[in-house]
Each structure stands twice: as C-alpha cells, then as structure tokens.
Amino acid sequence: MSGNADRVYSIIKQNKGFVTTSQITDAGIPRRVLSELIDEGRIYRAARGIYALPEAWEDEMYFLQYRFSKGIFSNETALYLHDMTDRTPHTYTLTFPHGYNATGLKTQNAKAKFATQDIYGLGIIEMPSPAGNIIRVYDVERTLCDIVKGTNNCDIGVVNNAMKLYATAKTKDIGKLIDYARRLRVKPKIQTYMKVLL
C-alpha cells in the first residue's frame, strides 16, 4: 500500500471509519488515491464527498449534515437526540439560515426549517449522533421553544412529555429557557408550561 493510502487510512481511523474529500485535499493527498482504494475494494463512496471502510456503520445524520453544512438538527429530531422523546424521527428536521438553498433535502429523507440570522445561531451545540460522530444540534432549551411555535405542528403529546421531562431534569436552566423564549417570541407559551409543571 502506498504512503498516500496509509495516510488516508490514518485519517479514516481518526474519523470512526469515514473520510471526506475536503479532509483528503487539506492533507495534500491526491484525490485519485480515493479512486484507487475504491477500485481495490478497500473503501466505498458512502455519500457525495464521503468515503468509508466497508465495515463502517453508516451514519445518516452525519452524512446529511456534511452535505448540507449549514443545517442544524432541530425540532423533533433534536428532541430525539436529547432523549426527550421515544419516537424515532421518520424524517430528519434541520434548521437553516434564511436564504440558504436546501434544494435536494427532500430526496434525503429530511425537511428544512428556516430562521433569521439573528436567531439561527442561538443554542447550537455539538453532540454525538447515534452512530457516535459529532453533529451540530440545538440545545434542549432552544428545542423546547422551537416545538411550541404555532407553525411547527409538533404532536401535543410529544410536546407535553418533553416539557414534563425538562421540568424534572437536574440539568434544566430556566433562566436560559425564558431568555430563548423571549428572543424566539414564545415566552407566554413556555411560561404557561413551566407554571403548571414547576
């Protein structure tokens, strides 16, 4: 195996079995090395710009966020990632800044929400996907505010259950929740839930 192939494998090992074309380019490795490794059956093209070892567990969420890099997992998908619902999402929800071209998202089993630039970045955190790769998600407080918005159409049972779980959580930050609720214009709804539950 060539020195460049060894370097590709080194990056793949650090990345839990995946490598992206941008990582290869940044490392100064010619892209043809990827084609050679595919031809030899050592790696495969998992998604556009993402390559993986044959034994690597595919990570839909990681692939999706790589392809739509401005997308932040939100709403019911974020609830699921925070263990605040037992419903596995049928489609993933990502929030983008207004004006972002999310064409092609529907073909990827996902839907887009849009936020103005002043609130798009509010509450972004990094956490592991179910497959263990780091993805960007809105924190719990931002997610709770998002799911009570009138245009969200989130199931009321899911909302009620998430609010109950939050009210009993040791990690809750009511100050942050109320601040987010004010900025996202859902303060009366959030206060109503918290008055009943706390």
DSSP letter (8 states) at residue 107 = G
The share of the chain scoring above pLDDT 70, in percent, equals 96
pTM score above 0.85? no
- Written as six digits, the tokens of 19 are 């490598």
Tell whether 75 and 153 lie within a shared domain. yes
Model pLDDT, residue 92: 94
Tell whether 46 and 71 lie within a shared domain. no
Question: Does residue 17 surpass a pLDDT of 70?
Answer: yes
Tell whether 89 and 29 lie within a shared domain. no
The share of the chain scoring above pLDDT 90, in percent, equals 46
Model pLDDT, residue 194: 87
- Per-range mean pLDDT, top range of 42-51, 63-72, 169-178: 169-178
Domain boundary among 58, 76, 93: 58
For residue 11, give the CATH number of its domain: 1.10.10.10
Q: What is the mean pLDDT of residues 93-117?
A: 89
Tell whether 96 and 187 lie within a shared domain. yes
Model pLDDT, residue 6: 85
Tell whether 73 and 24 lie within a shared domain. no
Tell whether 122 and 185 lie within a shared domain. yes
Tell whether 129 and 95 lie within a shared domain. yes
Tell whether 70 and 153 lie within a shared domain. yes
pLDDT per position as a tens digit, 129-188:
988 889 999 999 999 999 998 656 678 888 999 999 999 999 999 999 999 999 999 999
Cα 108 from Cα 6, distance rounded (Å)? 32
Residue indicated by tokens 């987010």: 180
Hey, which residues does 134 pair with through a beta bridge? 128
Tell whether 54 and 68 lie within a shared domain. no
User: CA 43, 81, 75, 59: dihedral to nearest 10 degrees?
Assistant: 10
**SS3 label, residue 46:** strand
Its domain, for residue 45, covers: 3-58
Strands 18-20 and 50-52: antiparallel
> 1, exposed or middle or buried, with CB in 10 Å at 0-12, 13-18, 19+?
exposed
Q: How many domains does the chain have?
A: 2
Are 12 and 18 spatial neighbours (Cβ–Cβ below 8 Å)? yes
